[in-house]
C-alpha cells in the first residue's frame, strides 16, 4: 500500500479536487491507497478566527465567519456536481461550548476543516465511480487531551487502524483527515498546525507502506523558499537526517515530526509537485545523498531572543541550564538556538502565545532581557563568501557557525 497526502493548497478549489482524482487514478499501487487530506485552502486560518470571535463573545462575527466557511465549501461542492444537503450535510452549528477552555474549543472547531474537506472529496470520488471509504480519524487516531498539540497513542491507534485496513472487502481507496485525532472519550483533537504530514507518516508506519508521498504546490524540496529567493534549486535526494534538520530549522517543507515514523520503518518519503504528477520531485530515504554543493537557506520567522543573567555572581552554568530548560519545557516553548557565555545564557525561541508566561517565570529567577521581531536564518553548506553575502545589510543579533552550517539571528525588517 501507499500513502498520499494532499495539503490545503492542493485542494483549495474544485480544480484541485479534480486534479487529486486524476493523481489517485494514476497511482501505481496494488493493495490499497490511503489518501490523507488537509483542510481546503486557508480554511484552518478562517476557523481559528471563528474560535477567537466565539471566545471574545462576538457571536455575530463568529457566525458570519462560519457561514463564509460553509459557503466556500458549498461552492466547491456545487462545482463538483454534488448536492449540498443531499450528498453531504455539512455541520450547521459552531461546535463551541463557553464552559470549556479555549484550547479545547479550538480543537472541536478547527478540526471541522479536515472533516469537511474529506467528506467532500470522498463523496466526489465515489460519484466518479472509484472504490472509496471515508475514515473518521477522531475515532481511529487515539491521542491524549493536550489540546492543540495532542500526543498520539501509537499502540492503540496502530491496532485499530491496521484492523480497519486489513478488513476483507475494504474499498481500494481510503480518505482520511490529516492533522486530527481524538481522545478516548470521543473529543476531537489537533496535532499542531501543519500536522497533516505527521498524520500521513504515522499511517505509513502503522500500515507498513511502500512509500509516503506528499503532493505539494512546489516542485519538491528546494534549497530556499521560492517566495523569498528568486533562484531556487531542487534537491532531488536527501537522507532522513538531513530532512529532520531541514524541518527543524524552519523549512516549510514538512512538519518536523514527519520523519521519525518513516525512518523507523525505512519508508521512503516523496515530495512531489501536485501540478506536474509526472515530475520526480524529491525523495527522502536511507540512501539519499543530500544536497551536496548546494547551499540551503532556511528562514525561521517570528523569533524572540531571550538572555538570562544570574541575579547573584555565583553563576553555575549546569544548574542554571537545567532550571531554564525546565521552565522552557513546562511553558511549551520551542527552542531554535542556544548560546552561553560565562555569565549569560541566550535562547532563541518561536514567539508563541506561551512566551509571556515563560518570561514571567524566568524573571523570577534571573535578570532577563529580550529582543523580538527576529528571524533565524540557517545556511547549510555555507562558505565564507556565502556567509558574507548573507550578513550584508542585516543587523545580526547573534551568530553561530560551524564549518558547514551558519546560523544567524537577524532583525526581521532586514529580511
Residues that bind ligand ASP in the complex, under the rule CB under 6 A: 7-8, 38-39, 44, 113, 178-179, 193-196
Minimum CB distance to ligand ASP, residue 91 (Å): 16
Q: Which does 195 bind (CB under 5 to 8 A by kind): Mg ion, ligand ASP, none?
A: ligand ASP
Residues 343, 309 contacting (CB under 8 angstroms): yes
Strand partners, 214: 5, 271
Residue 198: how many CB atoms within 10 A of its CB? 24
Q: Which does 273 bind (CB under 5 to 8 A by kind): Mg ion, ligand ASP, none?
A: none
User: Considering beta carbons, is residue 66 or 179 the nearer one to ligand ASP?
Assistant: 179
The residue count for binding Mg ion (CB under 5 A) is 2
Residues 46, 14 contacting (CB under 8 angstroms): no
Phi and psi, residue 327, nearest 5°? -65, -45
Cα separation values, 19 from 79, 174, 277, 411, Å: 14, 17, 9, 41
User: Considering beta carbons, is residue 225 or 357 the nearer one to Mg ion?
Assistant: 225
User: Considering beta carbons, is residue 354 or 370 the nearer one to ligand ASP?
Assistant: 354
Q: Which does 178 bind (CB under 5 to 8 A by kind): Mg ion, ligand ASP, none?
A: ligand ASP
Minimum CB distance to ligand ASP, residue 270 (Å): 17
115, 20, 106, 100: which is closest to 70 by C-alpha?
A: 115
Q: Which does 378 bind (CB under 5 to 8 A by kind): ligand ASP, Mg ion, none?
A: none
Q: Which does 105 bind (CB under 5 to 8 A by kind): Mg ion, ligand ASP, none?
A: none
User: Considering beta carbons, is residue 7 or 16 the nearer one to ligand ASP?
Assistant: 7
Exposed e or buried b for every residue in 25-62, given b needs 16+ CB within 10 A? Answer: eeeebeebbbbbbbbbbebbebbbebbebbeeeeeeeb
154, 222, 190: which is closest to 43 by C-alpha?
A: 190
219 scored as a contact of Mg ion (CB under 5 A): no
> Within positions 11 to 40, which residues make up the interface with Mg ion, using CB under 5 A?
38
Minimum CB distance to ligand ASP, residue 215 (Å): 12
210, 76, 192, 196: which is closest to 137 by C-alpha?
A: 196
Minimum CB distance to ligand ASP, residue 47 (Å): 9
User: Considering beta carbons, is residue 300 or 380 the nearer one to Mg ion?
Assistant: 300
Q: Which does 138 bind (CB under 5 to 8 A by kind): ligand ASP, Mg ion, none?
A: none
Minimum CB distance to ligand ASP, residue 253 (Å): 12
Task: Characterize the bridge pairing of strands 344-350 and 405-411.
Answer: unpaired
Minimum CB distance to ligand ASP, residue 288 (Å): 23
69, 158, 147, 81: which is closest to 114 by C-alpha?
A: 69
Write each residue from 35 to 64 as x if it is in contact with Mg ion (CB under 5 A), else as -, in one continuous string: ---x--------------------------
Minimum CB distance to Mg ion, residue 15 (Å): 18
Minimum CB distance to Mg ion, residue 39 (Å): 7
d(CA 28, CA 336): 40
8 scored as a contact of Mg ion (CB under 5 A): yes
d(CA 161, CA 158): 5
- Which stretch of DSSP H or E encloses residue 212? strand 211-216
In this chain, which residue has its C-beta nearest to Mg ion?
Answer: 8
In this chain, which residue has its C-beta nearest to ligand ASP?
Answer: 196
Binding interface with Mg ion (CB under 5 A)? 8, 38
Amino acid at each position: 500500500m501507499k500513502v498520499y497526502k494532499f495539503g490545503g493548497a492542493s485542494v483549495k478549489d474544485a480544480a484541485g479536487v479534480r486534479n487529486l482524482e486524476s493523481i489517485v487514478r494514476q497511482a501505481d499501487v496494488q493493495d490499497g491507497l490511503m489518501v490523507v487530506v488537509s483542510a481546503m485552502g486557508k480554511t484552518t486560518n478562517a476557523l481559528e478566527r471563528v474560535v477567537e470571535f466565539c471566545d471574545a463573545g462576538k457571536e455575530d462575527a463568529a457566525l458570519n465567519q462560519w457561514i463564509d466557511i460553509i459557503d466556500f465549501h458549498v461552492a466547491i461542492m456545487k462545482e463538483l456536481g454534488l448536492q449540498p444537503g443531499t450528498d453531504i450535510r455539512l455541520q450547521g452549528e459552531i461546535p463551541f461550548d463557553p464552559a470549556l477552555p479555549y484550547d479545547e474549543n479550538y480543537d472541536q472547531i478547527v478540526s471541522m476543516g479536515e472533516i469537511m474537506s474529506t467528506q467532500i472529496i470522498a463523496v466526489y470520488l465515489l460519484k466518479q465511480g472509484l472504490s472509496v471509504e471515508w475514515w473518521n480519524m477522531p475515532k481511529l487516531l487515539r491521542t491524549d487531551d493536550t489540546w492543540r498539540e495532542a500526543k498520539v497513542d501509537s499502540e492503540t491507534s496502530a491496532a485499530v487502524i491496521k484492523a480497519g485496513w486489513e478488513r476483507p472487502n475494504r474499498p481500494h481507496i481510503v480518505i482520511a483527515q490529516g492533522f486530527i485525532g481524538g481522545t478516548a472519550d470521543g473529543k476531537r483533537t489537533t496535532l499542531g498546525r501543519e500536522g497533516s504530514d505527521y498524520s500521513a507518516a504515522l499511517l505509513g508506519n502503522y500500515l507498513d507502506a511502500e512509500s509516503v508521498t506528499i503532493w505539494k504546490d512546489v516542485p519538491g524540496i528546494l534549497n530556499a523558499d521560492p517566495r523569498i529567493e528568486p533562484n531556487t534549486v531542487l534537491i532531488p535526494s536527501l537522507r532522513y537526517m538531513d530532512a529532520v534538520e531541514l524541518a527543524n530549522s524552519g523549512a516549510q517543507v514538512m512538519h518536523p515530526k514527519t520523519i521519525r515514523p518513516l525512518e523507523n520503518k525505512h519508508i521512503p518519503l516523496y515530495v512531489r509537485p501536485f501540478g506536474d504528477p509526472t515530475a520526480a520531485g524529491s525523495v527522502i530515504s536511507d540512501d539519499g545523498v543530500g544536497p551536496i554543493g548546494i547551499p540551503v537557506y532556511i528562514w525561521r520567522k517570528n523569533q524572540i531572543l531571550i538572555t538570562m543573567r544570574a541575579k547573584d555572581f555565583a553563576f553555575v552554568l549546569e544548574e542554571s541550564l537545567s532550571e531554564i530548560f525546565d521552565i522552557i519545557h513546562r511553558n511549551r516553548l520551542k527552542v531554535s538556538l542556544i548560546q552561553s557565555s560565562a555569565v549569560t545564557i541566550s535562547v532563541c525561541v518561536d514567539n508563541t502565545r506561551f512566551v509571556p508566561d515563560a518570561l514571567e517565570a524566568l524573571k523570577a529567577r534571573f535578570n532577563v532581557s529580550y529582543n523580538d521581531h527576529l528571524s533565524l536564518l540557517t545556511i547549510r553548506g555555507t562558505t565564507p563568501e556565502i556567509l558574507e553575502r548573507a550578513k550584508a545589510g542585516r543587523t545580526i543579533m547573534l551568530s553561530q557557525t560551524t564549518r558547514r552550517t551558519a546560523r544567524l539571528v537577524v532583525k526581521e525588517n532586514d529580511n
